[in-house]
Amino acid sequence: MSEQREPVTAIETPIYLKYNFTAGEATSRFLSQVKEGRLVGQRCPSCHNVYVPPRGSCASCGIPTSEEVAVSDKGTVESFTIVWIPIPNNPIQPPYIIANLIPDGANMSFIHLMSDCVNEDVHIGQRVQAVWKEREDWDYGMDNIQYFTPIDEPDVPIERIGHMPVEGWGNADSVEGEQP
Amino acid sequence: MSATDMTEIAIVSFAQTNCVGDAGAANEVELIMPVVSEALGKIGLKNAQDVDFTCSGSCDYQQGAAFAFVFGVDALGAVPPIKESHVEMDAAWALYESILKIRMGQAESALVYGFGKSSPGELPIVLSQQLDPYYLAPLFVDNVSLAAMQARQMLEQGVCSEAEMAEVVSNSRRNAAANNPRAQLSGDVSIEDLLKEDQWLAPLRKHDCCPISDGASAMVICTVEKAKEWGVPYAVIRSIDHRIETHNLGARDLTRSVSTEKAAAATGVGDGPVEVAELYAPFSHQELILKRALGLGDDTSINPSGGVLAGNLMMASGLSRIGEVAQRIIDGSIQRGIAHATSGPCLQHNLVTVLEAA
């Protein structure tokens, strides 16, 4: 009989699994457009909401979204947070801003960074525009956009956030008519 | 579970994608949505809002995408929120959970679906990670090697012959060609020709092993009262039972399936004629084990769809076996049949369902 020794509290069993991962058909189409500097969402044929980035379905209706819709790289702040703590392995130094942004022509927000701004002045309804990397650095990724920066346009009232047409304030008369 | 004094539950709809070796770029939502909407659409339903409960089966290790099943909810129309659950198992067990949910009185209808995209990874290696984490998983023992050891035991003990294994494959290919347009492998191959092929993981030849497939299947179940209210034809789930064996392969008699024998007795497989049996046997010799464990004779048509040797949608194949039998009852071609689902190495965990006409 072996004598009882110290309890074994850990063993190392490294696991390596290789995958040929694919992003999905809808996501692949979106990323191919982002590589060309364009944001292209998809519209639900039932509720007419436009999703950016699209996943190929309307999460509300549970049906395929096949109609592709170009949206603007201008948008509106739906919400934001100021990050004060360093995140391990994140090269961005705090304080920085993560925001829920809705591009003009879309109805759902996505998350991106805001920069080139006075953090204390950032607010819901604020107008922003994408700052793209140099064209030769574009790849299949949302980080082709470095960040969004405030632009000198009137704020969007709360009830209109998520209902701006692709022309933004440039065609303000159509705002009501574009509501889904 | 026996049907005595319990709510009778009906299968009213079933749909499955084609079994394909590589579904390309399609993500989980793009795999699920067509079968979910087909299964719902067949009986006039639109989305998951039209049933009381939704339950799915999948395994994120297959495609290597963490929480892929959560994204799958995007295929359902879950606004406003729905009652939903998931098993990290074949969707046959999602059906089991849904039956419990209905029998507890918390739902009258349920959508059940399973999906698997196995092509992105090396499936046999991925499946090594379902083994005991201290002794076996670190060795990366793949499921095909384990099945090969099981087959060798059977051959050495004279439980079956290589010709009988080849006959299983030949029948699968022929049945798939005749009855299953969604099959991945089908055709007319003789036992003699199959036996001429080289051994792969001896004594298994490549054709003794199911192919690796991408795809999904979906089913709608409800109380018999609800099926009558909807005015749709249905198959009755007479009984369902599942049993599991130990992780320790050395402690099992791999030449038989005691868990299937027990599930068969509990479900009353032998209480009536078995016209059709759809068996989840990923390797040819395992069909022979299951046939004996379930007490099936030559009057039973085994795997008229071709079974999983014709295409194996990991995490959906078990549900599909049940759907294949239900479909034949719904279309009136049979009165009574059984379906089997399995999980784990060498038929570790087995589920048996008895289905009957109304």
Read off the pLDDT of residues B82-139 as tens digits, 9 standing for 90 and up.
999 999 999 999 999 999 999 999 999 999 999 999 999 999 999 999 998 888 889 9
Q: Report residue B3's pLDDT band, with 50, 70 and 90 as the boundaries.
A: very low
Please answer yes or no on whether A27 and B27 come within 8 Å at the CB atom: yes
Cβ(B60)–Cβ(B118) under 8 Å? no
- B77–A contact, CB cutoff 8 A: yes
Q: Which residue of A has its CA nearest to B61?
A: A17
Cβ(B333)–Cβ(B324) under 8 Å? no
Please answer yes or no on whether B33 and A19 come within 8 Å at the CB atom: no
Give A-chain residues touching B48 at CB under 8 angstroms: 62
Q: What is the pLDDT of residue B83?
A: 97
Look at residue B356 and give its three-state secondary structure.
strand
Please answer yes or no on whether B25 and A28 come within 8 Å at the CB atom: yes
Q: ipTM of this predicted complex?
A: 0.85
What percentage of residues in chain B have a pLDDT greater than 90?
Answer: 92
Domain ranges for chain A, please list them.
25-167
**Is B192 among the domain residues?**
no
Distance CA A120, CA B269 (A): 71
- B128–A contact, CB cutoff 8 A: no
Which residues have a Cβ under 8 Å from the Cβ of B276 and sit 6 or more positions away?
Answer: B300, B301, B302, B304, B325, B328, B334, B337, B338
Which of A11, A13, A17 would best serve as a mutation to test chain B binding (most B beta carbons within 10 A)?
A: A17
Q: Which residue of B has its CA nearest to A54?
A: B74
The Cα of A64 is separated from the nearest Cα of chain B by a number of Å equal to 8
The Cα of B123 is separated from the nearest Cα of chain A by a number of Å equal to 10
For B143-198, write each residue's pLDDT tens digit: 999 999 999 999 999 999 999 999 999 999 999 999 999 999 999 999 999 999 99
Q: What is the pLDDT of residue B332?
A: 97
Q: Which residues of B55-90 are buried (b: 16+ CB within 10 A; e: fewer)?
A: bbbbbebbbbbeebbebbbbbbbbeeebebebbebb
**Is B21 among the domain residues?**
yes
Considering only residues 58 to 77 of chain A, which have any Cβ-Cβ distance to chain B shorter than 8 Å?
Answer: 58-64
Write down the residue that tokens 């239900």 correspond to. B326
Distance CA B184, CA B119 (A): 14
For B318-343, write each residue's pLDDT tens digit: 999 999 999 999 999 999 999 999 99
Task: Give the Å distances, CA to CA, from A148 to A116, B161, B295.
Answer: 8, 69, 68
Please answer yes or no on whether B25 and A23 come within 8 Å at the CB atom: yes
- B68-77: average pLDDT: 89
- A26–B contact, CB cutoff 8 A: yes
- B202-217: average pLDDT: 98
Write down the residue that tokens 């059940």 correspond to. B112
Domain CATH for B52: 3.40.47.10
Q: Report residue A172's pLDDT band, with 50, 70 and 90 as the boundaries.
A: low
Please answer yes or no on whether B63 and A25 come within 8 Å at the CB atom: no
Listed range (A81-90, A95-104, B3-12, B210-219) with the worst mean pLDDT: B3-12
Please answer yes or no on whether A21 and B78 come within 8 Å at the CB atom: no
Distance CA B231, CA A109 (A): 42
**Is B58 among the domain residues?**
yes
Which residues have a Cβ under 8 Å from the Cβ of A112 and sit 6 or more positions away?
Answer: A98, A99, A101, A142, A145, A147, A148
**Is B33 among the domain residues?**
yes
- A76-84: average pLDDT: 97
- A50-67: average pLDDT: 91
Please answer yes or no on whether B126 and A55 come within 8 Å at the CB atom: no
Q: What are the two backbone dihedrals, phi and then psi, of residue B274, each rounded to the nearest 5 degrees? A: -105, 100
- B73–A contact, CB cutoff 8 A: yes
The Cα of B209 is separated from the nearest Cα of chain A by a number of Å equal to 22
For A138-164, write each residue's pLDDT tens digit: 999 999 999 999 999 999 999 999 999
Q: What is the pLDDT of residue A114?
A: 96
Q: Report residue A137's pLDDT band, with 50, 70 and 90 as the boundaries.
A: very high
Q: What is the dihedral of CA A131, A133, A138, A139, to 10 degrees?
A: -80
pTM, to two decimals: 0.93
Q: What is the pLDDT of residue A168?
A: 94
Q: What is the pLDDT of residue A176?
A: 47
Please answer yes or no on whether B61 and A17 come within 8 Å at the CB atom: yes
Which residues have a Cβ under 8 Å from the Cβ of A5 and sit 6 or more positions away?
Answer: none
> Counting Cβ atoms within 10 Å, is residue A139 exposed (0-12), middle (13-18) or buried (19+)?
exposed
**Is B255 among the domain residues?**
no
- B39-63: average pLDDT: 96
Q: What is the pLDDT of residue A178?
A: 45
pLDDT exceeds 70 at position A173:
no
- A23-43: average pLDDT: 95
Distance CA B99, CA B1 (A): 10
Please answer yes or no on whether A22 and B29 come within 8 Å at the CB atom: no
Output the average pLDDT for chain A: 91
- A11-29: average pLDDT: 91
Distance CA B30, CA A55 (A): 9
Angle at the Cα of A173 from the Cα atoms of A167 and A179, rounded to 5 degrees = 75
Give A-chain residues touching B74 at CB under 8 angstroms: 55, 57, 59, 62
Q: What is the pLDDT of residue A4?
A: 74
Q: What share of chain A is helix, strand, coil (3-state, %, to 5)?
A: 20, 30, 55
Q: What is the pLDDT of residue B200?
A: 96
Q: What is the pLDDT of residue B5?
A: 53
User: What is the number of domains present in chain B?
Assistant: 1
Q: What is the pLDDT of residue B7?
A: 86
Which one-letter amino acid corresponds to residue B344? G
Q: Which residue of A has its CA nearest to B139?
A: A13
Q: What is the pLDDT of residue A93?
A: 87
User: Whole domain around residue B229: which residue ranges?
Assistant: 9-122+212-235
